Amino acid sequence: MDEMRPDLVVDVPLDLPQDSQPLPVRICEGVRGLIMDGVLAPGDHLPSTRALSAQLGVSRGTVVASYEQLEAEGYLVAASGSGTQVNPDLRGLHRRSATPTPPPSPRHRHGIDLAPGAPDTAGLANSAWRSAWHRACVQPRRITDPLGSPRLRHEVAEHLRQMRSLLADPRQVVVTGGARAGLAELIQVLCDRSRHLMVGVESPGYPSLRKVPTALGHRIVGLPTDDHGLDPEGLPTGSDATNLDAVLITPSHQYPWGGSLSASRRAAVIEWAERAGCWIIEDDFDSELRHVGAPLPALASLDEEHTILLGTFSSVLTPALGCGYLVIPPDLMHPFAEQRQATGQPVPAIVQEAVADYLSTGALRRRTQRMRQVYRRRRHTVIDILGSVPGTTLQPIDGGLHAVLLFNGSEEDVVRQCRHEGVGVTPLSTYWGSADADAAGIVLGFGSHDDDTLATALTTIARVVADHTGS
C-alpha cells in the first residue's frame, strides 16, 4: 500500500500550524487545504507515510493516522501497488480562492463573437487536410532555402495564377508567418538597418497591420479613403511624397469600408508611386472571397517593379495556421535571403510541407469555391436583417467576411449594449488612423458562425441600434 514509483510522487508543501490541535488533525487540515486550493490535483500520488513523516519530523504512525482519516473522508484513496493518491473522483471539487473570480462577461458567456474577418473552419479537417498533415509529419523534410520551401513557393505561385491572375515567379515568393510577421520582415529589409521609414497607411485601415511599423520604431501617416478605397487625389505630393518610403493599401477590398480600386485609380496609384519612388505594399488579405463578380486581379499584376504582394491563408483556411507569403521584386530577393540567413525560417518545415501538399491537390481551390457560396448566403442574411434598419447605412459588402453598419448615435453605447446582450461587435473608431473619426458605426464579421446563430446575433444588433438611434 505504501510503495509507489518515485517519479509519480508530487511534493507536498505542508506547513503545520503551531496550535493546540493534535498532529494528525493538523496534517489532515493541511493536506485537505492543499487539495481544496488545487495545489494537489485529483490523481496526484502522495509521498509514502515514511517519506512524509521524515519530511515533517513526526512519527510514521501520526502520518498513517492522517492518511486513514483522509481516506475515510474520501479525499485520498489507496490502491495496491500504487500507494496513496488524491481521489480522482474529486475533479468537480471547488477550489478556494483568496480573490473571487469575476463572472464571465455576457460576450463570452453567450459565445456569439462577431469578430471581423474570422472564417468558418467547420469542415476544414477533411480527408485532404488530414492526409496533407499526415504525410508532412511522417516524412518531415529539412528546408534549406532561406525564402521557404521551394515546393510551397511553387504552389503559392500556382494559387496566385489561378485565383488572382498574377503570374508570379516562384523564386520571388517568400514564405512568411502570416500578414503581420511578413510585414515586419519586409520593413526590416526595406529600412536596411540604417534609417527610420515613413509608411503611408489607409485611414481607416486594418488596425493590427497599422501597428507594425510603429512597433518597429518607424512612423506612419494616414492616407484618405472613401467608399471606393484609397483616394489617389489625397496622396501626398512634392517633398511630402518623396518622404514616404512605402504605402500599405488594400486595392481589392478596402478594410473596413469594403470598396475596391477602379482601373483608373489603380493606374493613378502606380503612376504616383513611380514619381515618388515609393514601394506599394498590397495587402491581399481576403481577395479570393469575392461576392459580386469574379475576384479582381492583384495590383501586383499591373506593376511588378514597385508593388509587393502581402498574402495570407488566414481568411481562406484559418488564422491558426500562421502561414502567409510575400511576392517581392527581384531587387529585394538577395536582401531578404541575407536577413533570413540570420533570422531563420519563421514557419516550421512540417507546416510548410503540409500546406504545399494541400495546395497541390487543388483542395484549397475547391474549398474556396464552396465557402464562397456559404459566405454569400450569410452576406444576404446580413443585408436582409441590417440593411433596412431606420437611421442606419449598411456599407456595400462586395467581398470578404465583414460588414460595416453606420448610424447616428453613440458608438460606445451600441457596442456596450450589444456585448451586454451577448453579441461581440467592434467599434468603427478603432480603424481610424487618428482620433478624428467622422462616422459612428460598428464592424462585424459574418463568416465564423452558422446561419441560425448569425441570424440571432444580427437580430439583436438591429434592435440595439434601433433603440440607440431613436428609430
Please give the pLDDT value at position 32: 87
**105 located within any domain:** no
SS3 273: helix
Please give the pLDDT value at position 88: 86
379 in the same domain as 333: no
Q: Which domain holds residue 66?
A: 23-86
384 in the same domain as 311: no
Residue 38, all three cell numbers: 488545487
Q: Which of 365, 389, 424 corresponds to the end of one domain?
A: 365
Q: Which of 365, 385, 411 corresponds to the end of one domain?
A: 365
Q: Residue 2: how many CB atoms within 10 A of its CB?
A: 15
What are the two backbone dihedrals, phi and then psi, of residue 312, each rounded to the nearest 5 degrees? -150, 160
- In single-letter form, the type of residue at position 60 comes to R
Q: CATH number of the domain at 413, please.
A: 3.90.1150.10
Contact 31, 12 (CB under 8 A): yes
Residue 377, all three cell numbers: 448566403
Please give the pLDDT value at position 39: 82
Q: CATH number of the domain at 79, please.
A: 1.10.10.10
Q: In sequence order, what are the beta bridge partners of 229?
A: 226
Please give the pLDDT value at position 307: 94
d(CA 299, CA 303): 7
Furthest CA-CA distance within the chain: 91
Give whole-number Cα distances, 52 to 10, 15, 44, 62, 401, in Å.
11, 12, 15, 10, 60
347 in the same domain as 251: yes
329 in the same domain as 193: yes
Residue 271, all three cell numbers: 503612376
Containing H/E element for 156? helix 150-164
d(CA 181, CA 406): 32
**73 located within any domain:** yes
348 in the same domain as 239: yes
Contact 164, 297 (CB under 8 A): yes
373 in the same domain as 356: no
Q: Which residues fall within 8 angstroms of residue 80, CB to CB, at 6 or more apart?
A: 1
Write the burial class of residue 413 (CB in 10 Å: 0-12 exposed, 13-18 middle, 19+ buried).
middle
Residue 70, all three cell numbers: 483522509
444 in the same domain as 350: no
**11 located within any domain:** no
383 in the same domain as 413: yes
**255 located within any domain:** yes
SS3 110: helix
d(CA 351, CA 170): 18
Contact 78, 69 (CB under 8 A): no
Q: What angle do CA 287, 204, 247 make, to 5 degrees?
A: 70
d(CA 452, CA 377): 12
d(CA 106, CA 265): 44
Give whole-number Cα distances, 467 to 215, 284, 427, 444, 460, in Å.
39, 37, 17, 18, 11
Contact 410, 468 (CB under 8 A): yes
- Count of domains forming the chain: 3
**91 located within any domain:** no
What are the two backbone dihedrals, phi and then psi, of residue 81, each rounded to the nearest 5 degrees? 85, -10
Residue with cell 469575476: 102
333 in the same domain as 255: yes
d(CA 84, CA 76): 7
pLDDT tens per residue across all 471 residues of the chain:
455 555 567 778 887 777 777 888 889 888 888 888 788 888 888 888 888 888 888 899 899 989 988 888 888 998 666 688 888 888 666 554 444 444 444 444 446 999 888 899 988 989 999 999 999 999 888 999 999 999 999 999 999 998 888 899 999 999 999 999 999 999 999 987 557 899 999 988 888 888 999 999 999 999 988 888 889 988 988 887 788 999 999 988 888 888 888 889 999 999 999 999 999 999 988 778 877 776 678 889 888 888 999 999 999 999 999 999 999 999 999 999 999 999 999 999 999 999 999 999 999 999 998 999 999 999 999 999 999 999 999 998 888 899 999 998 889 999 999 999 999 999 998 887 544 456 789 999 999 999 999 999 999 999 999 998 865
Q: CATH number of the domain at 168, please.
A: 3.40.640.10
71 in the same domain as 52: yes
CA-based end-to-end distance of the chain:
74
Q: Which residues fall within 8 angstroms of residue 237, CB to CB, at 6 or more apart?
A: none
- Residue 123, sorted as left (phi over 0), alpha (psi -120 to 50) or beta, turns out to be left
**102 located within any domain:** no
d(CA 402, CA 101): 34
230 in the same domain as 344: yes
**465 located within any domain:** yes
Q: Which of 331, 365, 399 corresponds to the end of one domain?
A: 365
Of 73, 416, 343, nearest to 189 by C-alpha is 343
Contact 367, 427 (CB under 8 A): no
Looking only at the bridges linking them, the beta strands covering 198-203 and 173-176 are unpaired
384 in the same domain as 441: yes
